[in-house]
Amino acid sequence: MLALCLLASGYGLVLIYTATRWNDNSRSVPVQCLGIFLGVVVYIILSSVDLELLVEKSWKWLLAFNLGFNLLVRTPIGVTHGGNRSWIAIPGFPLEIQPAEVTKLTFILLFAWQCAKLQKKGISRPSSVFQMAAHTGLTAGLIAVVSHDLGMALVYLFLFLVLTWTSGVKLRWFALGAVVCVVGIILVWPHISDQYFARRVTVVIDHITGNQATLYEQTQGAGWQQSRSILAIGSGGLSGQGYLQGIQTQSPYESSLPSRSADEIFAVCGEEFGLVGCILVILILAAIIARCVWVARRAPSPMTALAAMGYAGMLFFQCVLNIGMCLYVLPIVGLTLPFFSYGGTSIITMFAAMGAVSSIKTRSLPSWLRDRSQL
């Protein structure tokens, strides 16, 4: 696991360097290196921690941390980037911290522990489903309200779906939830259709369906970032334009390929390394996700199995959204590509998550004892 994480983050450093080379004053590479170093340290520490015992003894503190830490973005140390007040700057600390990224780790542990407890009482009982939905709604809703980061709130909602599904919640609850969501969207959409986030969704639909009436919006309006991204990927062809040779990647104008070191890092890979480089990125990430699932299947308890699946789901969702955004088939939600995109908090969080999975692996029982874990 650690080798795969280092391989992914090393590849990411190569991409971040070329993506920020146009800006001579960029600190991205040194900051990312520091983030990787701190991430490895956190990985090693967490891999030696008994996560189940930790949650059992301090679940109230973890819940308070999840809520309180996210509220810090509304204090004087809160920082705004790209319209989202999602970061905090601690005096003397070299990296800005995104609380919602950090609390993903503790939310997964806490929610997995909650699901494991409710399995004993009946995971599909209305009271159990209500408790899980209230836990998720409180956390995701808080993030959406205080930071306006809807993309991150979506990650928490997807984690809810993954963990409730794998813990055995009956299909009828998901069908009911889908109906409620559809009705809610139909009722709310007329009131939000003119807002920028809604336009991000409609511009993708128009692009996929080939609606020529909104061509300007697709290329110059809400779809500007994605139109530049898909152009960069397409121009790379099979093997790319060459390292440090991408036309948009090396352009001195930031608007040429917006957020090229973070949200659009996959487009940078496509332009300079082509389809081959993009497939390599996907294969590395798929290997990490598969490793998480493999650990979950051999976990010593239901709680740790659910936690490992939660971390796998977190990686999968972020990868699909980020790559889909770059390919202009999903709306922009401001999520980084795990291990590859620039971001100190993001890279440390990903190493920490995999350290937690490693901890679960080191406590797995041998096959001849595995059945006794259910006693």
- Cα–Cα distance measured from residue 149 to residue 32, given in angstroms and rounded to the nearest whole number: 22
Residues of the chain with pLDDT > 70, as a percent, come to 95
Residues of the chain with pLDDT > 90, as a percent, come to 55
64-75 confidence digits (pLDDT tens): 999 999 999 888
Classify the C-alpha dihedral 185-190-192-198 as positive or negative: positive
45-94 confidence digits (pLDDT tens): 999 888 888 898 888 999 999 999 999 988 888 888 777 788 888 887 77
Please name the residues in contact with 293: beta carbons below 8 A apart, sequence gap of 6 or more: 308, 309, 312
What are the residue boundaries of the structural domains of the chain, listed by start? 2-364
Predicted confidence at residue 278, as pLDDT, reads 96
Mean residue pLDDT of the chain comes to 88
- Cα–Cα distance measured from residue 113 to residue 303, given in angstroms and rounded to the nearest whole number: 5
What value does the mean pLDDT take over residues 150-159?
Answer: 89
The candidate with the shortest Cα–Cα distance to 268, out of 239, 236, 312, 306, is 236
pLDDT at 372 over 90: no
Predicted confidence at residue 365, as pLDDT, reads 56
Predicted confidence at residue 21, as pLDDT, reads 87
pTM of the model: 0.91
For 296, half-sphere exposure in the C-beta direction (CA atoms, 13 angstrom radius) is 22
Q: In the structure, what pLDDT confidence band is assigned to residue 350 with cuts at 50, 70 and 90? A: very high
104-114 confidence digits (pLDDT tens): 999 999 999 99
